[in-house]
Amino acid sequence: MSTHEPIADRDGTSAPPGAGPPSRSAVVSADETGETGETGEASEASDTGDTGDTVNAADVPDVPDVPDVPDDGAGPEAGWRLRDLAKLVAACVLILLLVNVFVAQPFVVPSGSMENTLRPGDRLVVNKLAYQFGGTVSRGDVVVFDGTDSFVPGGNESIGIGTELRKFGAALGLAPSDGSIFVKRVIGVGGDRVTYRAGDHELTVNGVPLAESDYLYPGDAPSGVGFDVQVPPGKLFVLGDHRSNSSDSRDHLGDPGGGYVPVSKVIGRAAWVIFPVGHWSSLDRPPGFAAIAAAAKGGGHGNQG
């Protein structure tokens, strides 16, 4: 009969039934440390081959179920859609800018100097290809041009973000220009002699009377002052259709540029009025200039149109 007594824990209580005698490693560890705590347990795990990594399923706390999140379009697919949209917008803006630079550009009419042909706030489309590929400026054309050094002095342009934004808005036809862009009608081209005597009913180009009733503002005389000018080669003599309300070549005859507009400063021919809807129109060359063009061809006056 065995007289072996159950091993007692350190607090004097009996070990659980069935517990065998301590292993040698546990006894040695207890003797060396004076405790039967974690060192002993680690040694027992070493003797039995248990690495201590095994976790019972009962020891893992329950994880609550995560409710499904509804697809609100904010996932990866939505991100791709936004990027595609951004690319499309960027491509449209790029195409618009290229068209504005090389083909056609909208402008806002800033004043009443061209009434009733053009009214303040009208949106024009300027054909930039009209004078390319051999085309030339003709008498009677309504042109948009840069008046720097002819109508306004150059070198005074401010620099800053406001200036750049204004230029961008003007390029898109959303804002008026910075004051250096003008729209007028071409009366004389290089080589022409344009004359008006105060009180006359018509001015003359190369001695040929010009009929202006198709576009001249009702009640206006051809000019309030007399003049007699010879247009230099490569230059233009331009007037507004509302002569009593237009600052044009007449007003700059004594300026450094002589009031003449260099052909190289012409941005393009004003081709259409596109806004407001009730003022839609094409800006065709008036028939009164046909007689002057025919006389110029026969007599050799003028080197353009």
Q: Which residues are catalytic?
A: 113, 184
Distances (CA, A) of 79 to 61, 143, 159, 219, 304: 37, 47, 38, 63, 57
Q: How many CB atoms lie within 10 A of CB 272?
A: 16
Distance CA 208, CA 216 (A): 18
Kindly state the DSSP code that residue 117 receives in the 8-state scheme: T
Tokens representing residue 225 in the block = 């002052």
Q: Tokens 């009929």, residue?
A: 211
Distance CA 146, CA 140 (A): 18
Distances (CA, A) of 217 to 112, 115, 182, 241: 10, 6, 18, 6
Distance CA 126, CA 300 (A): 30
Distances (CA, A) of 142 to 21, 33, 54, 225, 271: 115, 107, 92, 22, 8
Distance CA 81, CA 60 (A): 43
Q: Tokens 């004043």, residue?
A: 111
Which helix (H) or strand (E) segment is 90 a member of?
helix 76-102
Tokens representing residue 170 in the block = 């003007």
| Inter-residue contact 194 to 259 (CB < 8 Å) | no
Residue 17, CB-side half-sphere exposure with 13 Å CA sphere: 0
Largest CA distance in the chain: 152
Residue 71 identity (one-letter amino acid): D
